[in-house]
Amino acid sequence: MASAREVAEAAERRDVRNRWLLSAPALLIIFFAAVGPLFVMLLYSFMAKGDYGDVKLWQFSSEGWFSVFLERDIFDDTLSVNDAHLAIFWRSVKLSLATTFLTLLFGFPTAYFIATRPERWRALWLFLITIPFWTNLLIRTYAMQEVIRNEGVINTSLLWLGLIDQPIQMMYTDLGILFGMTYVYLPLMVLPLYAAMDRLDFRLVEAGYDLYATRLKVLWRIIVPLVKPGIVAGSILVFIPSLGAYVTPRVLGGGKNMMIGNLIELQFGQGRNWPLGAALSLTLMAIVMVALLLYVRNASKSGARHG
Amino acid sequence: MKRTLTAALAGLAMLAGASSAQAEGQLNIFNWGNYTSPEMIKKFEEQHKVKVTVTDYDSNDTALAKVRAGGHGFDIVVPSANFMPIWIQEGLLLESRPDQMENFKNVDERWVNVDWDPGRRYSVPWQWGLTGIIVDTSLYKGDINTSAIFLDPPPELVGKINVAPEMNDVMYATIRYMGGQWCTTDKDLLRKVRDKLVEAKPKWIAMDYGVIEKFASRDFGAAFYWNGAAMRARAQNPDVKFGFPKEGFPYFMDSAAILKDAKNVENAKLFLNFIMDPKNAAMISDFARYANGIKGSEQFMPADMKDAPELIVPKEFEAAGEFLKPCAPEVTELYTKIWTEVLK
């Protein structure tokens, strides 16, 4: 006769096994759809490049990784840091940080507004936020051209109001890219912020006012610390896709100044250097992962302090 | 050869149109965006009871990469002349012998014995044209038959120039402008080429596809771009003129060919023969506004195309034009490095 303990243990083992079996489909999909391609990329980044694109299979070479960071000068063969790639990475990071900041600036009041509406209206406001997702990104980006062009909505309105007498050149500038990315990624900031603010206990805000805190102090000392997880989540959700953005810089930036996404595309297309393209993609991923790890570590530390 | 992202839209519209036709056979065409006449496709579908699907690509490299990856399901592809030898060497094309087809007699002799497919054993002319200079002459009245328009721009045009983001075409025009030959590895010359491009780039507004609307709205004052697009732009802005760079300009010809792993080979052969019929070739040109290489198609073209200045290379500039052959891999690598440095 099995003792009660043995029965319990068997049940637990069965539980664990069932849990694994139930999650097996998801794990398999993740493995084959995410880890598999990554592995192919890793492999390709270490192979010699084919003459007309592709790679020479099983001919290993570190040339791809070498040229991510270093370059042999085209003209005098000296070795130096690849400043063309560095400049492109730096522009991407800069624009992504600026996008994150701007979406936070516009997203925060929006989320606050929604969270402070009466319960029955909130669903409607959230629904409105998701409307842009109904339309394809490419089409929205082309529509954005119509807004920021020299003869677009913004410039014609400003000219008509007499605020400017020359159209502001936004199209084909970093400003245009920033504008487009802020627009595209704004919902990704608003939604997690709203989720955090929805849980916010507004009695604490009232208590703050009762204790003679100014509006700014209430915002800074009460609201911001409480919705910090939302801010972090929103920033991550915006920063990461911005870093790899391809369509927006191509369509609104006029393709004159590359971002990382465009540099990678060049290697797989006209550049015919797949190993370098794969190595660049993995470098981009590594940057994102390091940034994330730092963020998470930081967040958990400060979380412990507050908690 | 108008390569736009918006082309995806045209492709979708065309797919919608194509799927309504009831047919027994199928044909899957893989072609440049905004390049395939929907009327011509419709005519082919009705005539041969074949359902045609057109899928877009925006560069030769994209097309090559996709087909080489396999599992694409396409029957026909339309590569440019400079890529055709790669397609043939890599064994991606079927030797379908268009030269033995009924309508081959219509192909202009000039386009039969071409370097990239001697005797036309694989491919049929689709359209040809050239990359040159488009200028809005309300802004600039000087000589437009020179690459100086985008490499040493006159002050009137600074900040209003669009350059096609095509590495080969831009490198070619610049190398010739600096006095070199295509595929050169002369380091001193290439250094000058790089310096010239780096110096000129801040004077450009964009490096983008899709210039026609931008000339109509006068966002662009000049461009280094394809002649067919210039003609379409002129239809919307009469000040637009096309210049043939005297220092040297690249020709292109895209030719339709059947893929080796095509599933609908017979329909694809019917299609190649179909587009060598002057009437049908004229429909292709009418849509995309490039010349087509089929004799007798002129008489079916709309009046405004017959004497279009963009399509007729003036005698004095004929020698300046050249079909780009693919350079050796190490030369391409060199050019890519220069290009990356310019675009950083």
Given a cut of 50, whether residue A89 has pLDDT beyond it is yes
- Residue A1's pLDDT is 55
Q: Which residue of B has its CA nearest to A75?
A: B187
Helix (H) or strand (E) holding A47, with range, is strand A47-49
- Residue A2's pLDDT is 62
Residues A296-307 as b or e (16 or more Cβ within 10 Å = b): eeebeeeeeeee
- Is residue B6 within 8 angstroms of chain A, CB to CB? yes
- Residue A302's pLDDT is 59
Distance from CA of B205 to the nearest CA of A (A): 6
Q: Which domains does chain A have, with CATH numbers?
A: 82-306 (1.10.3720.10)
Task: Identify whether the C-beta of residue A295 lies closer than 8 Å to the C-beta of residue A232.
Answer: yes
Cα(B14)–Cα(B55) distance, integer angstroms: 9
Q: Which amino acid is at B37?
A: S
Distance from CA of B204 to the nearest CA of A (A): 8
Q: How confident is the model at residue A168 (pLDDT cuts 50, 70, 90)?
A: confident
Q: What is the CATH number of domain B130-250+315-343?
A: 3.40.190.10
Q: What is the mean pLDDT of residues A145-157?
A: 88
CA-to-CA dists, residue A98 to A240, A243, A260, angstroms: 12, 11, 16
Report chain A residues whose CB lies below 8 A from the CB of B326.
Answer: 52
Given a cut of 80, whether residue B12 has pLDDT beyond it is no
Of the two residues A304 and B253, the one the predictor is more confident about is: B253
Report chain B residues whose CB lies below 8 A from the CB of A266.
Answer: 336, 339-340, 343
Q: Which residue of A has its CA nearest to B344?
A: A84
B288 is written with which tokens? Answer: 């995309």
Distance from CA of B127 to the nearest CA of A (A): 22
User: Angle between the A174-198 and A119-130 helix axes, to the nearest 10 degrees?
Assistant: 150
- Report CB contact under 8 Å: B343, A87: no
Q: What is the mean pLDDT of residues A134-159?
A: 89
- Report CB contact under 8 Å: B61, A53: yes
Cα(B81)–Cα(B293) distance, integer angstroms: 13
Task: Identify whether the C-beta of residue B159 lies closer than 8 Å to the C-beta of residue B283.
Answer: no
Given a cut of 90, whether residue B281 has pLDDT beyond it is yes
Of B194, B336, B341, the CB nearest to A273: B336
B86 is written with which tokens? Answer: 């790669």
- Residue A257's pLDDT is 77
Question: What's the mean pLDDT when you consider all of chain B?
Answer: 89
Report chain A residues whose CB lies below 8 A from the CB of B86.
Answer: 52
- Is residue B340 within 8 angstroms of chain A, CB to CB? yes
Tally Cβ neighbours within 10 Å of residue B343.
21
Q: What is the dihedral of CA A127, A129, A131, A137, to 10 degrees?
A: -150
Cα(B146)–Cα(B140) distance, integer angstroms: 13
Residues in chain B: 344
Distance from CA of A289 to the nearest CA of B (A): 24
Q: What is the mean pLDDT of residues B160-186?
A: 94
Residue with tokens 């970093």: A174
Distance from CA of A307 to the nearest CA of B (A): 46
Cα(B333)–Cα(B338) distance, integer angstroms: 9
Given a cut of 80, whether residue A276 has pLDDT beyond it is yes
Q: What is the mean pLDDT of residues A44-63?
A: 85
Cα(B73)–Cα(B70) distance, integer angstroms: 8
- Is residue B236 within 8 angstroms of chain A, CB to CB? no
Q: How confident is the model at residue B20 (pLDDT cuts 50, 70, 90)?
A: very low
Q: Which amino acid is at B174?
A: T
- Report CB contact under 8 Å: B59, A270: yes
Given a cut of 90, whether residue B155 has pLDDT beyond it is yes
Cα(A21)–Cα(A32) distance, integer angstroms: 17
- Report CB contact under 8 Å: B344, A83: yes
Q: Which residue of B has its CA nearest to A255?
A: B207
Helix (H) or strand (E) holding A154, with range, is helix A153-161
Nearest to B93 by CA among B124, B114, B49: B124
Q: How confident is the model at residue A128 (pLDDT cuts 50, 70, 90)?
A: very high
Of B8, B162, B217, the CB nearest to A138: B8
- Residue A39's pLDDT is 92
DSSP helix/strand/coil, A119: helix
- Is residue B90 within 8 angstroms of chain A, CB to CB? yes
Given a cut of 50, whether residue B7 has pLDDT beyond it is no
- Is residue B190 within 8 angstroms of chain A, CB to CB? yes
Q: What is the mean pLDDT of residues A272-292?
A: 90
Given a cut of 90, whether residue B60 has pLDDT beyond it is no
Of B204, B326, B340, the CB nearest to A256: B204
Cα(A238)–Cα(A97) distance, integer angstroms: 9
Given a cut of 50, whether residue B26 has pLDDT beyond it is yes
DSSP helix/strand/coil, A58: strand
- Residue B22's pLDDT is 40
Nearest to B233 by CA among B212, B254, B260: B212
Would strands B76-77 and B249-258 be described as parallel, antiparallel, or unpaired?
antiparallel
Tally Cβ neighbours within 10 Å of residue B330.
10
For B206, phi then psi, to 5°, come to -155, 165
Distance from CA of A167 to the nearest CA of B (A): 11
A175: Cβ–Cβ under 8 A, 6 or more apart, which residues?
none
pLDDT tens-digit readout, B290-336: 999 999 998 999 888 888 899 889 999 999 999 988 888 889 889 98
- Report CB contact under 8 Å: A268, B64: no
Given a cut of 70, whether residue B157 has pLDDT beyond it is yes
The reported pTM is 0.78
DSSP helix/strand/coil, A71: strand
- Residue B326's pLDDT is 81
Three-state SS sequence of chain B: CCCCCCHHHHHHHHHHHHHCCCCCEEEEEEEECCCCCHHHHHHHHHHHCEEEEEEEECCHHHHHHHHHHCCCCCCEECCECCCHHHHHHCCCECCCCHHHCHHHHHECHHHCEECCEECCCCEEEEEEEEEEEEEECCCCCCCCCCCHHHHCCCHHHCCCEEECCCHHHHHHHHHHHCCCCCCCCCHHHHHHHHHHHHHHHHHEEECCCCCHHHHHCCCCCEEEEEHHHHHHHHHHCCCEEEECCCCCEEEEEEEEEEECCCCCHHHHHHHHHHHCCHHHHHHHHHHHCCECCECCCHHHCCHHHHCCCCCCCCHHHHHHEEECCCCCHHHHHHHHHHHHHHHC
Residues A17-32 as b or e (16 or more Cβ within 10 Å = b): eeeeeeeeeeeeeeee
Backbone angle region of B179, left / alpha / beta, with phi > 0 → left and psi within -120 to 50 → alpha: left
**Residue-range domain boundaries for chain B:** 7-128+253-306, 130-250+315-343
Residues A35-63 as b or e (16 or more Cβ within 10 Å = b): eeeeeebeebbbbbbbbbbbbeeeeeeeb
pLDDT tens-digit readout, B232-276: 999 999 999 999 999 999 999 999 999 999 999 999 999 999 999
Report chain A residues whose CB lies below 8 A from the CB of B211.
Answer: none
pLDDT tens-digit readout, A101-127: 999 999 999 999 999 999 899 999 999
The most confident of the ranges B4-8, B80-84, B221-225 is B221-225
B23 burial type by CB count under 10 A (0-12 exposed, 13-18 middle, 19+ buried): middle
Report chain A residues whose CB lies below 8 A from the CB of B207.
Answer: 254-256
Q: What is the mean pLDDT of residues A227-234?
A: 91
Cα(B26)–Cα(B263) distance, integer angstroms: 9
Q: What is the mean pLDDT of residues B62-80?
A: 91
Q: What is the mean pLDDT of residues A52-74?
A: 82
Q: Which residue of A has its CA nearest to B333?
A: A271
Helix (H) or strand (E) holding A55, with range, is strand A55-60
B285: Cβ–Cβ under 8 A, 6 or more apart, which residues?
B127, B291, B292, B297, B301, B305
DSSP A156: H
- Is residue B222 within 8 angstroms of chain A, CB to CB? no
- Report CB contact under 8 Å: A150, B219: yes
- Report CB contact under 8 Å: B205, A250: no
Nearest to A45 by CA among A300, A219, A285: A285
Asked, colleague to colleague, whether B7-128+253-306 and B130-250+315-343 share their fold, the answer is yes
- Residue A239's pLDDT is 92
Tally Cβ neighbours within 10 Å of residue B298.
16
Q: N- to C-terminal Cα distance for chain A?
A: 49
- Residues of chain B above pLDDT 90, percent: 72
pLDDT tens-digit readout, B117-148: 999 999 999 999 999 999 999 999 999 999 99
Q: Does domain B7-128+253-306 have CATH number 3.40.190.10?
A: yes
Q: How confident is the model at residue B21 (pLDDT cuts 50, 70, 90)?
A: very low
Q: Which residue of B has its CA nearest to A151?
A: B217
- Residue A107's pLDDT is 96
Q: Which amino acid is at A146?
A: E
Distance from CA of A120 to the nearest CA of B (A): 39
- Residue A305's pLDDT is 44
- Report CB contact under 8 Å: B329, A269: no
A149 is written with which tokens? Answer: 């062009």
B218: Cβ–Cβ under 8 A, 6 or more apart, which residues?
A151, B136, B237
Distance from CA of A172 to the nearest CA of B (A): 6
Task: Identify whether the C-beta of residue A103 lies closer than 8 Å to the C-beta of residue A186.
Answer: yes
Given a cut of 90, whether residue A195 has pLDDT beyond it is yes
Tally Cβ neighbours within 10 Å of residue B118.
10
